[in-house]
Chains A and B, each alone.
Chain A
Amino acid sequence: MDATPITTPRKSATFDDYTLSEIRRAAASGIYDIRGGGAKRKLPNFDDLLFLGASMSRYPLEGYREKCSTDVWLGTRFAEKPIHLKIPVTIAGMSFGSLSAQAKESLGRGASKMGTSTTTGDGGMTEEERGHSSILVYQLLPSRYGMNPDDLRRADAIEVVIGQGAKPGGGGMLLGQKISDRVAHMRTLPKGIDQRSACRHPDWTGPDDLEIKIQELREITDWQKPIYIKVGASRPYYDTALAVKSGADVVVLDGMQGGTAATQEVFIEHIGLPLLSAIRPAVQALQDLGMHRKVQLIVSGGIRTGADVAKALALGADAVAIGTGALAAIGDNDPALEEEYRKLGTTAGAYDDWHEGKCPAGINTQNPELSVRLDPELGGRRLANYLAVLTLEAQTIARACGKSHVHNLEPEDLVALTVEAAAMAQVPLAGTQWVPGLTGA
């Protein structure tokens, strides 16, 4: 008689291969995993929404014939010199230090070609990005690395960073491998040490103080510059309301898919909200205060395509910001570098040890032998192409919905494919009138 058949070997869904590898890594090292990027877990996102398009009850616009505008004004509440962007897609804050000078220059070149803005990061303003960014947003972060009034005045807008989507409630981290002579000088720190950026600002606590801090920034810049407040998505309704109360011209809301240069894996994957769930509460806060479209809302965190752009705008945002997508456009995680990614123990598309400074694409590094690989002119062209596609795609959708401006997209143009997405985006489940949490079943 044959032996009793055995069952197929089955791995645990709870203790899957990745989880087990992390347990082994933790047991060997005694320290948490640090990486760059945003949340990698599967999250409810814009893929769970669909546009309805025009039909009998709506009148579409002719593609390539009828105008569909994409421009955005930012900072119209208080600033004497608000910003005018040609497209509703901006480049999110990323630091020199985390990124190479060539990468910052690429971002500036690409954004400027498309008439949109770039943003500094935790490390101050470099000549490369100021010189190549026609519109540059200067971040005021808790660390205040590189902060100075001259750069405040030559910025086009100021972004007070309270948090970011990858790590709301967390500070910055730039490990010693990336603290080159130039980075150390800009940050007033010894070369080679781990740079820890504080998680709270040094000279204000809470929205009452922030209102006074913003008043100071306006006084220093003679009330000319738009002032943004950036928050990581965690309590978007209240954070947006308090940002308005504090005197912001623009609120930047970053979901947990938004990237970081480096932080703990557990922070990235377990703290914060996916962008899909954060936009409607933020818009609601603006509407409750009568400030929707008066205080502009920029959202970020996992924006990949023009469809994502259009969906974010339809939910009430004025513009989006991209980071990870922009880096991919200029060459990050390109399969053409697969051999080198393999040498680093990873594969193209998965490389996230940005803090180690070994980026083969020359983007997330301060190693001059690596950073020189990135041609800023080519990088700029590639980013401009990507931004153009995002814009064309968003226009295509807007025209299909009968909108002459992408800002005319609205929640009524959307339905959701899942109950979760319907609840988060507050749009009906496809084929029903049901908005979970708002209407009856």
Chain B
Amino acid sequence: MPEIDLGVTPLRELNGALHKLPKDTNETHWVIENPAGGHAIAAGLDAPLTVDINGPVGYYCAGMNKLATVQIHGSAGVGVAENMMSGFVHVSGDASQAAGATGRGGLLRIDGNASSRCGISMKGIDIVVKGSVGHMSAFMAQAGNLVVFGDAGDALGDSIYEARLFVRGNIKSLGADCIEKEMRDEHKAAVHDILTRAGVNGQIDPSEFKRYGSARKLYNFNVDHAGEY
């Protein structure tokens, strides 16, 4: 099990080594020490690795991740798991802005709170936040699921497309074209599945969540709706 001390090894060397691993490598579990808030740690992985990062990370940790499991034992800066394609990214602390931004697949779990714009422009990723999310979360969210155990800030789901938002707590306000929708059995099953994959099933009953999504009134521009923007 390789252990990399980022206080000694340059980031470029670490990421380069992770990118060069053959698909059938035996070195599937890596441990990174002293991340010290560094940026782009474990970005661009493309193999079924497990990477444990012991400490806080900066911007874009696990950016564009494919296949890998990245476990951040600390807090994460802006854009953790941005544009993730697949795999699993787990933040044990809080996450800054734009967590999971534009993510296309995979699962992002944040045990603490996520700041503003969590899931912005998400395109298929599933995001579980055990705390609360900040303002403008799921802005222009296209696809995927955002599950929030706590509260949501202003303008949740503004200009949302087809993503599904599940929030257990209070919502300060909904954004343009985002409405509450009926929480049917199929949605409870979907939340159950996501929580199971996130490893937090049994902590919250899926029926405690409310569902939010697009009213689809702004999908084609209509001058009578100009005031909505």
Contact = CB atoms under 8 A, between A and B. Distances in A.
Interface majority SS (helix, strand, loop, mixed), chain A: loop
A190 B219 contact: yes
B39 A223 contact: no
Interface in B66-104: 66, 78-79, 82-83, 85, 97-98, 101-102, 104
Interface stretch (A130-138, A147-155, A268-276, A383-391): A147-155
Contacts, number: 107
Question: Could you say which interface size class chain B belongs to?
Answer: 35 or more
Nearest to B229: A196
Interface stretch (A208-216, A280-288, A366-374): A208-216
A144 B102 contact: yes
B152 to A, nearest CB: 17
A222 interface: yes
Interface stretch (B106-114, B120-128, B180-188, B197-205): B120-128
A66 interface: no
Interface in A177-204: 187-190, 192-194, 196, 198, 202-204
A431 interface: no
Nearest to B82: A203
A266 interface: no
Give the most central of A143, A175, A192: most B CB within 10 Å.
Answer: A143
A148 B12 contact: no
A30 interface: yes
B44 A219 contact: yes
Contact of A203 (B12, B98, B142, B219): B98
B164 to A, nearest CB: 14
16 contacts: A144-B123, A147-B83, A147-B102, A149-B44, A190-B162, A193-B220, A194-B220, A198-B140, A202-B120, A212-B40, A213-B60, A215-B39, A216-B59, A219-B15, A222-B16, A222-B19
Given A196-B140, A203-B102, A222-B12, 8 more contacts: A194-B221, A203-B117, A212-B59, A216-B59, A216-B63, A219-B15, A220-B40, A222-B16
Interface of A: 29-31, 143-144, 147-149, 152, 175-176, 187-190, 192-194, 196, 198, 202-204, 209, 212-213, 215-216, 219-223
Interface of B: 11-12, 15-16, 19, 39-40, 43-44, 46, 58-60, 63-64, 66, 78-79, 82-83, 85, 97-98, 101-102, 104, 117, 120-121, 123-124, 139-140, 142-143, 159, 161-162, 219-221, 223
